[in-house]
Structure 1
C-alpha cells in the first residue's frame, strides 16, 4: 500500500486495509502556497462544464483543467509542485488535474474516483492552495463513519487506490462566505488515457 513517506504530523484517516487515507499539513509554506495559488488562478486553462443530473443538464459547480506531465503547456510551477509531492509520495505520476472552487457555492458531490481511469494500486495525492475547505470522507459500508477534514493551504492528502472502493469524498457547499481554493490532484493514469489528451 502507498502511504506518505514521512511520519511527523501525518493524520491517518483510514487504515491500510480500507485505505490508506493520510493528511499532512504545511508541506509547503503559506507564502509559497499563496504564490502558487495566485499564479495558477491566472495561468490555469480553466473550463466550465456541464453534466446530466435528474434528466437535465446542469453546470458543474467549479472550474477545472487537466495536464499531462509531458504537456509542453504545463505551467512551470506545476513541475515544482510535482517535485514537492514526489519528495513525500513515491509514485510515477503522469497526470495533474486542478479544480477551482471560486467561493462557498462551488462544491463536489460525494463520489469516488473511477478506478478504470487510474493505474491499479497507485495513489491520488491532493495539494490544497487558497482558502481552507472541509472535505467529508465517509465509509460506503456500515458503520458509515464520517470524517470532516479541514484541507489547509499547503497540505497534502493521500488517498490510496483501495480507498476508492471503501470511501466517498466530497467538498460540500457552505452557507457562510469563504475565499477561493484550488485543489491540485496528482494521479497515475493508464497510458491510453494520457495519449488521448
Structure 2
C-alpha cells in the first residue's frame, strides 16, 4: 500500500479553524489497496438496514451501515491495518469506525453534523472513501449558508475537526447517474 503524507496529494482545505477545519486529501491510499479494502468490506462487514422516524412515519435509511469498536470487536479483513495507518497519519487514537454502503446514486445521507457528546474533544473525524466517486456537500449552519462541494474519490480522506461539527453540516446527496457502490469509513475517537 502506498500512503502519502498529509501534504503530498494536493490537499484542499475549504474550512479552517484552530483544530484543522475541514480538509480533503485525495489519493491517501492507492488504487490497489482501496480496491482490495472495498472488496473485503463489501463481502465481510456486518451490514445492516435501519429504519428511522421521519415526518411521522417509519422510513428505510437509504444506505447500509456497520459499526465497529476498533479496540474490542472482531474486524473484517484489512480494517485494523487501515485504522492504524489513518491513526498514525493524523496522530489520533481512533477507537471506532462507522461504515456506510451507498449501493448506487439513490443511496444518500442528509446534511447533518456528528453528535459531539460522546466524541473526544479536539480529536478529528476522518472519513475514508472507497469505490465510486460521490459528492460531499459541506454547508455552514448560519446564514448566508456558504456551501462547498467535494468530489470524494476512492482512496481519499476527508478530515473534519471536532469544532467544525458545531458550525457546519455535511452530507452525501443523491446522485441519479451513479450506478456503482461506494463505502465510507468514518473513524472517530469515542469517549463512551
Q: TM-score, normalised by structure 1?
A: 0.90
- Residue 36 of structure 2 aligns to a residue in which SS? helix
| Correspondence for 2:6 | 6
Say if 1:11 and 1:179 are closer, same or farther in 2 by CA, change over 3 A. Answer: same
Over the aligned positions, Cα root-mean-square deviation in angstroms equals 1.6
CA contact (8 A) 2:139 2:148 kept: yes
Counterpart check, 1:96 vs 2:97: yes
SS in 2 for 1:83: helix
| Counterpart position of 2:170 | 169
Residues 68-87 of structure 1: matches in 2 within 5 Å? 68-87=69-88
SS at match of 1:117: coil
* Misfit runs of 4+, over 2 Å: 5-8
Q: Distance in 1 between matches of 2:157 and 2:52?
A: 28
1:1-197 matches, within 5 Å, as 6-8=6-8, 9-17=10-18, 20-190=21-191, 192=192
* TM-score between both structures, scaled by the size of structure 2: 0.93
Higher helix proportion (structure 1 or 2): 1
CA shift at 1:13, angstroms? 1.5
User: 1:150 and 1:103 mapped to 2: Cα distance?
Assistant: 15
Counterpart-to-counterpart distance in 1, 2:73 and 2:136: 32
Partner of 1:195: none
CA-CA distance at 1:74 after TM superposition: 1.1
Tell me, in whole angstroms, the C-alpha distance in 1 between the residues paired with 2:147 and 2:73. 40
Query: Which runs of 5 or more structure 1 residues have no equivalent in the other structure?
Result: 193-197
* Alignment check: 8 A CA contact 2:44 2:77 kept: no
Q: Number of paired residues?
A: 188
Query: Contact 1:18/1:166 (CA < 8 Å) preserved in 2?
Result: no
